[in-house]
Structure 1
Amino acid sequence: MGIPYEPRGRTYEAADCWGLFRLFQRDVRGIILPSYVDELEDCEFHRRVFAPLVRVEKQHSWIEVDRPEFGDGILMRVGREESHVGAYIGNGQMLHSEGPHPSQIERMSDMRWRDRITGYFRYCPC
């Protein structure tokens, strides 16, 4: 918690939502995920650019589940796009990073998030 937000950030010094999720998966679960920094490098960061990358990752390495377990991904809609991801940490809580705020733990039932969650995804090295 408390990692500063930065678009395309992929380190503990600064991370966006995918960067934080990627760090969590690597350091807590031993799962190595692509960074997608190159895909975002040549364009100004915008959710419309990030959303297709979320869809690609969702199709390749993740299976949708009805109820999350520790470490599962939580995909959320911001505006009309599925463009925000967090990690389920148990007890109805998620770890996520959304600018300009630093990474934090929030309840998924919080009014701000409960209607924006579009699915739960579990890593599957299938």
Structure 2
Amino acid sequence: MRHLMLLLVALGMVGCASAPDPDLASKIEVSMVEPVVEPESSAPSVEEILTVYKEWRGVPYRMGGTTQRGVDCSAFAREVFRDALGIELPRSTRSQVHEGVRVAKNELVEGDLVFFRINPRLNHVGIYVGNGEFIHASARKGVTRSKLDNQYWRTKFWQARRISI
């Protein structure tokens, strides 16, 4: 509304004057320009994710575990999302795989969940952290960092999901 009033005042002044005042014209042009606002990034901060990872690194794997005495993959993913991003994920891998939107493996960004089919009854989840790596609670190594192109993980990769922030 304010812009419209300024425009009407300026047009009225131009109609009454023999030549427009250049200072007034530049002020009107400046006031009518809307600021450009960059959209917020939907990718989470990998630094925040890695900070939480460092607190958990080396914690042993324990099926059904949710503490630093022992944790399973879905509880670890849930803790990272809660502590680093303030997002509540469901507790189980079975439920987490339905969160967010599916993304192609070649379109992964930091913070995407990566899912693996270990066998017909067992799935695994980790969090992509860039450079072809993901963090997860491994049954053999506990909370660790692994490469997606590792022979084992490459053959077990199932899908990736992007959670909106």
- What residue identity is the alignment partner of 1:73? L
Report % sequence identity.
27
The 5 A counterparts of 1:69-88 are: 69-81=109-121, 83-88=123-128
* TM-score normalized with structure 2 length: 0.59
The 5 A counterparts of 1:1-126 are: 1-36=57-92, 54=94, 56-59=95-98, 61-66=99-104, 67-81=107-121, 83-124=123-164
SS at 1:71's partner residue? coil
Q: In 2, distance between residues paired with 1:115 and 1:22?
A: 24
**How far is 1:82 from its partner?**
5.7
Residue equivalent to 1:48:
none
| Greater share of residues in helix | 2
Give 1 or 2 for the bigger CA radius of gyration.
Answer: 2
Q: In 2, distance between residues paired with 1:25 and 1:35?
A: 11
Aligned length: 107
- What residue identity is the alignment partner of 1:94? F
Segments ≥4 residues shifted beyond 3 Å: none
Asked whether the equivalents of residues 75 and 84 of structure 1 are also in contact (C-alpha less than 8 Å), the reply is yes
Q: In 2, distance between residues paired with 1:82 and 1:100?
A: 15
- Cα-Cα RMSD: 1.8
* Structure 2: 5+ residue stretches without partners: 1-56
* Structure 1: 5+ residue stretches without partners: 37-52
- What residue identity is the alignment partner of 1:102? G
| Greater share of residues in strand | 1
Asked whether the equivalents of residues 97 and 115 of structure 2 are also in contact (C-alpha less than 8 Å), the reply is no
* TM-score normalized with structure 1 length: 0.75
